[in-house]
Chain A
Amino acid sequence: MRGSPEDDGDLVVETRGLTKRYGRVLAVDGVDLHVRRGEIYGFLGRNGAGKTTTLRMLLGLIRPTAGEARVLGRRPGDPAVLSRIGSLVETPAFYPFLSGMDNLRGVASYAGIRAGRGRLREVLEQVGLGKSARTKFRKYSLGMKQRLGVAAALLKDPELLVLDEPTNGLDPQGITEMRTLIRSLREEGRTVLLSSHLMSEVEQVCDRVGIVSRGRLVAEGSVEDLRGVGGLVVRAEPLGRAGEILRSVEGVGGVEVLDGELRLAAAPEAAPAVARALVESGMELLELRVARRSLEEAFFELAGEREGEGGT
């Protein structure tokens, strides 16, 4: 399921065997990540799966124990690369005694960019903090702090944005606005590496997904690929008789009645045979479709296997 490097095209982030060990704890275990230019890549995993550690390695905050990484074609932490990356890792961290505006001015200073008052205000307006520009950071709510973190990430007009749980602390309206903002970043041609433990967020926003479990990347691909195929769904009358008929159809592994439907353990290629068997038996075929797993189901299947492997 993992994308092969040959068909990855223009890779903005690429890691090979990226590993981080803290004593006996293997926080990140041989991760091979491929983030393509212009896509929104979802880095999906439970809390403590190794997402943030991986992101910190990509930003040069943490040195890997083994493996290598290239970000925008250079090694992580290279100042020339960091000046092209906007990032928000874990909780937004700013000086509590400075205003939002002053904190952004500091970010511009550290980034070595000239950002006038107009540019600072523009970015603050973009994240909905225009009216709180002069308020001290310590007086910001959790959601406002998160917005300032995103504003800081946008300030450099970055090619790549690394956003770690960007909707943390936001109210429902803020979450919707953040998703819209992230989608608009893709339309502007930017690449977004979005880390999250929220399936719905990743499913709604991301083009491709990497699933990490216990420090390992267990799957990487498009959302559709990861969701995969979950069998066939049939609605027919009478339901009981239809079920009996389908059990004998070649290619159908099992039949289950659920919520007034028949769930068939069968590949999409078995659909014509299923339809033919029902029609030839005089059944009334109301609906026949391919069932797809939700990303959540796919995640638990893919990540759950890993949990099982490692469990005692």
Chain B
Amino acid sequence: MIACLRFEVYKFLRRPSTWILALILVVAVAFLDYYQLYNAYETTVNGGKSFVGNLSGRGLRDFRDYMLPKEATLNIPSFLAALAAPFVLILGALSVGSEYGWDTVKTSLTQGVGRAGLLAGRVLAVAVVTLAFVVVSFAAGLVSSYVVAGALGVRTVAWPEASMLLKSMGVTWLIFGAWASLGMFLAFLFRGTALSIGLGLIYGIVFQTLISSLSANSELFQRILDALLSKNSSDLVSSLGSAPKAFSGGQSTGDPTQAALILSAYVVACLLLSALLFGRRDVT
């Protein structure tokens, strides 16, 4: 079991797609999150128009603070939950789907590891790699926030408390775990990568956005939205603090505890269904 887990992690490390996804996360946090925020802030300060609208006084100060290292524990998971988590779905889908594409599922299953053992090793390896993704994303975010602080002329940089940092990383790990589990389940369901990633991204990007926009005027769609990954991810992130008013339009109003339970339920349900599919289906 330990040897199986070690090899699964080793495969991730040697696989180019793992590094590409990690690089995408780093670039996304650095440029789509911090650089874009900094750019918007500078534009606003200089009297221009940016996506945050007209800000002044307290609002502008809150916005500025949001980009500093102290607020990274809220800023980074907010960004990752909203935009980057679907990339983790790709990681989950690749970890399972590629095995069908290369037919290596046959090679591994005929060695004696057993279906349950193989699934457990793979799930744990995905958990390890998603944790690594969280660490890498936070490292990129903290470095970016430090650079922004320097650019803003902040002399004394305040860093987040370790406990808050761990909590924030734990929240992000749960969100990533839910997305990765969904990717794994879809790959088991379709026994491949293309369809599982395609449908996963349609769910993550198109379907959730559609339901979110329809939920404003419909209780039914609001209920559906309450069960979706993105809504519960942002509800959970809200437990880490309040985002500045500039972003409060999309601020979550849900219960973080309930959101954590729903995300955990996603993980458990996806893994149970994966075990069911993997355990019962023929490997042809």
- Measured CB to CB, the residues of A under 8 A from B are 56, 59-63, 79-83, 85, 87, 89-98, 102, 105-112, 152, 156
Contacts and interface: CB of A to CB of B under 8 A. Distances in A.
9 contacts: A61-B106, A61-B109, A87-B110, A89-B106, A93-B106, A95-B102, A98-B14, A109-B4, A110-B108
A107 B11 contact: no
Given A56-B284, A95-B104, A98-B11, A109 B6 contact: yes
A93 to B, nearest CB: 4
Interface in B171-209: none
The secondary-structure label for the interface of chain B is: helix
B123 to A, nearest CB: 15
A62 to B, nearest CB: 4
Contacts of A156: 111-112
B11 A62 contact: no
B282 A63 contact: yes
Nearest to B281: A63
Given A79-B117, A80-B112, A62 B3 contact: no
A274 to B, nearest CB: 54
Interface string B94-137: 00000000111011111111100110000000000000000000
B71 to A, nearest CB: 39
A111 B283 CA distance: 18
B110 A109 contact: no
Interface of B: 3-4, 6-7, 10-11, 14-16, 102-104, 106-114, 117-118, 282-284
A98 B109 CA distance: 18
B104 A56 contact: no
B109 A106 contact: no
Contacts of B10: 102, 106
A22 B169 CA distance: 48
Nearest to A106: B7
Nearest to A61: B283
B112 A91 contact: no
Contact of B14 (A62, A83, A97): A97
A97 B98 CA distance: 12
B112 A112 contact: yes
B11 A60 contact: no
- Name, among A56, A63, A109, A152, the residue most crowded by chain B CB atoms within 10 Å (CB to CB): A109
